[in-house]
A and B are shown apart, each in its own frame.
Chain A
Amino acid sequence: MHRIALTLVLAGALGAPAAGSAMDMPLKAGVLSPAMPAPELKLAGTDGKPLHLARFRGRVVLLAFGYSRCPEVCPTTLATLAGARKKLGADAAGVQVVYVTVDPERDDAEQMRKFLGVFDPTFIGGIGTRAEIDAAQKSYGVSSTKKVFGSGGYGIAHTSSIYMIDRAGRLAAVMPYGHTVDDFVHDLQILLRG
């Protein structure tokens, strides 16, 4: 399990303030330029509605991929995102966290809802068939690799970045794994003003 977590952490790099971002403001995250429309999701949401990003236009979406049995990276990420929303106070209403499973065989709506609810009841999970999840992963360049344990169970090494979609629905920035609550608050305040 430890090795998987380490693999996941390797995908993370911590950012310093960057000048000349898409928002013309320094972001802690890696900035994509020019920002292009975020690939649309065609999944089911744990809130019982179809999960399309267009639903959240006007809000900043933090999109990430993971799975409910993830031992370390996903709980850390979700706790960080929940902490950032809490610290944003009233501005948190303008931020929507969407967490898409990479383990559709085990993560159904109920499982994901319970998992995400532990961190923040406003988080919405994305579920679907293997083909639907694969399509979502491909559109964001997300990889996932199953690691079978000797005990018979398995874990999944997966991309651990958080995709930051601006209020106009553009994929503006990508926050690698490992950033702090304050880093997210910093960037979200900029994106919310954009």
Chain B
Amino acid sequence: MAQRPRLVFILGWLALLPALLWAGFAPIRVASREKLFEIPNGTYARRMAGDKVEILPAQIRLTLGLEDVLLLRNLDDVPQVFGPTIMMPGQSFRLPFEKAASYQFMCTAHASGQMTIVVEDEPHMPWSKIRWRVREWWEKRHG
């Protein structure tokens, strides 16, 4: 009977191994290098009404060579300030990055007025590829 848990453990790992090998060694492909965020219409009005609305995440993660362009669209009916610029209603701002670092920006679409963009190097090692894929999967599921 003591052999059974060990067998289950070994079989579990054997089943997981192809997935881990794929996640660690297969090249990462993305549909677009742009990571899009939209500021919906009514954001300013909701905030003025006292709603602590958070449209954009407080932290956005980008990866050089994969998703290294931030694309913001202002769908609100008032101008919005994002870090280095002001976006008029209907306007978009496409900001590319080429250095891995953590950038803090002012952003009026946030209740806190701040937004952080973390730009990371492209993952090349198997472990970092696995970690990148798991995080992407998690963020897609949980926003």
Listed in ascending order, the chain A residues whose CB lies under 8 Å from chain B are 10-18, 20-21, 28, 30-34, 36, 139-141, 143, 159, 161, 163, 174, 176-177
Interface segment among B8-16, B41-49, B95-103: the answer is B95-103
Interchain nearest-CB distance for B79 vs A (Å): 7
Listed in ascending order, the chain B residues whose CB lies under 8 Å from chain A are 64, 68-69, 79, 81, 83-88, 90-99, 101, 103-106, 117, 119
Whether A17 touches B96, Cβ cut-off 8 Å, given contacts A11-B105, A141-B79, is yes
Bound form: Cα–Cα A143–B97 in Å? 23
Point out the residue from B69, B99, B105 that lies within 8 Å of A18, measured CB to CB: B69
Whether A18 lies near B85 (C-beta < 8 A) is: no
Whether A163 lies near B103 (C-beta < 8 A) is: no
For the complex of A and B, list the 6 residue pairs with the smallest distance between their C-beta atoms, beginning with the closest. A141-B86, A161-B84, A16-B98, A30-B95, A141-B81, A174-B85
Bound form: Cα–Cα A15–B33 in Å? 13
Whether B84 lies near A176 (C-beta < 8 A) is: yes
Give me 17 other A-B pairs in contact (C-beta within 8 A), A32-B91, A32-B93, A174-B84 excluded: A10-B105, A11-B83, A11-B104, A11-B105, A13-B83, A21-B94, A30-B93, A30-B95, A31-B93, A32-B92, A33-B91, A33-B93, A141-B85, A143-B106, A161-B83, A174-B93, A176-B95
Bound form: Cα–Cα A11–B119 in Å? 14
Whether A30 lies near B85 (C-beta < 8 A) is: yes
Interchain nearest-CB distance for B34 vs A (Å): 9
